[in-house]
């Protein structure tokens, strides 16, 4: 139980293109989803929090026009990195928190992450 699927696991793109990353909760309803970024040997840095049906709340220093987040349903959130540049290369991880038979309401369950490389 409590499976969060993140796709793609790895993406390589050219500078200036946009990349969409999907995060799905497979067996529970994700009322809240989170997007993190992890730099090598560093902690997970929260980028934004999204609640289903409402606009995402971005952390200080995160450009909302560059990192577009959509949480259109209780099982799906997407992160779009617009006009990607080499400095956007990183490991992006989503997590979900919600309700269901297999989840505890205050636990965030994580996807496997997406390695983005911008050439």
The footprint of another protein (CB under 8 A) covers 2, 4, 6, 9, 34, 41-44, 46, 49, 91, 93-95, 104-113, 115
Count of alpha carbons within 13 angstroms of residue 27, beta-carbon side: 8
Min separation Cβ 42 and another protein, Å: 6
57 versus 83: smaller Cβ distance to another protein: 57
Min separation Cβ 87 and another protein, Å: 21
77 versus 108: smaller Cβ distance to another protein: 108
Residue 35 three-state SS: strand
Min separation Cβ 22 and another protein, Å: 14
Q: How far apart, in whole angstroms, are the C-alpha atoms of residue 114 and residue 105?
A: 25
């Amino acid at each position: 139980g409590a499976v969060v699927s993140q796709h793609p696991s790895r993406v390589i793109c050219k500078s200036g293109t946009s990349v969409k990353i999907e995060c799905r909760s497979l067996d529970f309803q994700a009322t809240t989803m989170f997007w993190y970024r992890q730099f090598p040997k560093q902690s997970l840095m929260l980028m934004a929090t999204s609640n289903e049906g409402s606009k995402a709340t971005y952390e200080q220093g995160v450009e909302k026009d560059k990192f577009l987040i959509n949480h259109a349903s209780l099982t799906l959130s997407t992160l779009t990195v617009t006009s990607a540049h080499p400095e956007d290369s990183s490991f992006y991880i989503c997590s979900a928190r919600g309700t269901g038979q297999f989840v505890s309401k205050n636990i965030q369950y994580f996807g496997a992450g997406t390695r983005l490389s911008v050439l």
